[in-house]
Amino acid sequence: MFEVGTGKADITVDKKGVGMMGYGMFRNIVLGVETPIYARAIVFRDSKTGKKIAYVNAEICFITIAIKSGVIKRFARNHEELGYTESNLFLTAQHTHSAPGGYSNYGLYNMSIPGFVPEVYTKIVDGIVDAILEAEKNLQPAELKIATGIFEPDQEVAFNRSVFAYNLNPEVEIKRTEKDKHLAVDREMTLMRIDSPDGKPIASVNWFGTHTTSLSNDNHLISSDNKGYAAHYHEEEMKKHGREKFISIFAQHVSGDVTPNFIWDKKKKWTRGKFENDFDSAKFNGNLQFEKAKEISEKAKDVSPLLPEIDYLKMNFDFRNIICDPEFTNGKTDARTGPSCHGIAFFAGTEEGPGMAPPITFAAKMLSKFIRLWEHIKMPFMKPERRESVKEKYLVQGNKDILIETCDRKILGTSDIKNLFIPGWADRNIAVFKEYHRNGSLDNKPWIPQVLPFHIAILGNMALVGIPCEITTIAGQRLRKTVADVLKKRGVERVIISSYTNAYCGYVTTYEEYQMQCYEGGHTVFGEYTLAAFQTKFKLLAEELLKKPEERNATEIVEPAKFTEEEISKRTFKAERQKRLIKLATAGKI
């Protein structure tokens, strides 16, 4: 029999001037709170074996390695008897772009905040732990039932924001246009209904892919955005039926190229949702998700419950050099990943969240191409090790115009960041980079994770594939099939991609989409065969799950970078530097 416990904790930190995580825009700072944000936890336990797993969804942009590590340390220090480890803590985020940042130890993710924010980090870690502890206290017998539903084509809930890259995939038989880009996404929602044995609802969790970006980068109020509104609507609905402790999780599925925004705003020069007021759009989109979840939940009443089985496996892999299985590379035998590099297309942004201005983007592209040419000219005169490194970089990254080598700590080809020819006054993020480089806090660690956690959790005949990234529609379809083809041998009938799980490293596109170098391709940092590497390693993980636990070869031989308190303190958030921004934002000038 399954036992299930639920918990919920507030993780809101209203600290004025802190940058929000998601858009990477220095002006996108916190001035107040529109809605609180929460961590919701569901603990699943097999009463027969005692095996359990905690599934947590936080209303933040993504989970970081620092957050996962902090939660584990808290349990090891104060609640060791509960037995939580790397493997049975499944931490996810619903990806709102309107929550405070500053909770990663990796430099790049703190530039626009700017810096590490101890209050935000501590509140998230404490909230996750508190939610799990609450769930542990109310464990009770439960039945898990799975059902699905499809959003009708006229429901304005999700749209493909890179439809022309999507069309490059051979799986796409009907080529889509801007007019029917709502059909270039996975419109299915999968929902797990959790009931007590007498049929009373305990909790609900669903997976549907659409970005939590109904609120644009000119917002200054903390909000859980569309998925947060959906969760709130569902929980309030259940309170009317006497279910005060009911929690509802609206988690992400495959959302990399999926947006809730579809109307071009002539004033703002970017796409928005249904209404001119972003909060109205967020509520509208959230209500669509809530209504669909409610519909599927009713449908799930009559579904046979999952058999009470829990299994899981988590492994780390160093993505600086993953050799890809030719099965996933069209037979190419030397396809591999390489150290992370971010492309110009990433910094140019998307139609819903523009980044660099077009003239600057063009200039950066030209400069990147010149640097590539210059490095090839110099290659014969380089030392062998350096020559091989440069050769591999361009081989792995393909036609990406590289702006930042985030593993090797270079911007536009130079590691002398403090003396970069771009002046700090021209771009505030560059100014922060220069400051941190001068104080030595960016010297010897990658600026984003290179070692990534891969996680699979099995509940009955369902498998959750925890990925440390966001993945595009067709890439997610391929990864899901890879895992399903293996796990069907042990009776798994449904595979769900759980995005933003345990860490974050950017995007994963298909090889074909990567070639167009839209935003998603520019943010697929380990090269054009990143998806093939994901398929290779998740297939390995799935195959290990076919074995008995004692026979599995799942030793984690690589660990993420470790950061010292001194390194973090040198790039910790300073409130005084934000005074001018707060003044401008309060006056409505940014």
Chain segment 179-198, per-residue pLDDT in tens: 999 999 999 999 999 999 99
Quote the mean pLDDT of the chain.
96
Averaged pLDDT for residues 18-42: 97
Listed in sequence order, the DSSP H helices in 499-559 are 511-516, 519-522, 530-544
Task: Report the pLDDT value the prediction gives residue 460, as an integer from 0 to 100.
Answer: 96
Task: Report the pLDDT value the prediction gives residue 290, as an integer from 0 to 100.
Answer: 98
Contact (Cβ atoms closer than 8 angstroms) between residue 281 and residue 260:
yes
CA-atom Rg of the chain in angstroms: 23
Quote the percentage of the chain above a pLDDT of 90. Answer: 95
Q: Which residues contact 579 (CB under 8 A, 6 or more apart)?
A: 17
Q: Residue 280: is its pLDDT beyond 80?
A: yes
Tell me the per-residue pLDDT of 314-366, one tens digit each, with 9 for 90 and over: 999 999 999 999 999 999 999 999 999 999 999 999 999 989 889 989 999 99
Q: Compute the distance between CA of residue 83 and CA of residue 45 in angstroms, rounded to an integer.
A: 12
Tell me the per-residue pLDDT of 166-179, one tens digit each, with 9 for 90 and over: 999 999 999 999 99
Chain-centroid distance of CA 81 in Å reads: 30
Q: Name the one residue in this structure whose structure tokens are 């004033």.
A: 267
Task: Report the pLDDT value the prediction gives residue 424, as an integer from 0 to 100.
Answer: 86
> In Å, what is the CA distance from 68 to each residue of 88, 99, 210, 585?
11, 18, 24, 33
Going by C-alpha positions, the residue among 214, 187, 211, 188 that lies closest to residue 259 is 211
Going by C-alpha positions, the residue among 272, 246, 247 that lies closest to residue 59 is 247
Task: Report the pLDDT value the prediction gives residue 422, as an integer from 0 to 100.
Answer: 86
Averaged pLDDT for residues 547-567: 89
Task: Report the pLDDT value the prediction gives residue 426, as an integer from 0 to 100.
Answer: 81
Q: Compute the distance between CA of residue 578 and CA of residue 31 in angstroms, rounded to an integer.
A: 11
pTM, two decimals, is: 0.97
Q: Compute the distance between CA of residue 71 and CA of residue 91 in angstroms, rounded to an integer.
A: 10
Read off the pLDDT band of 556 (50, 70, 90). Answer: low
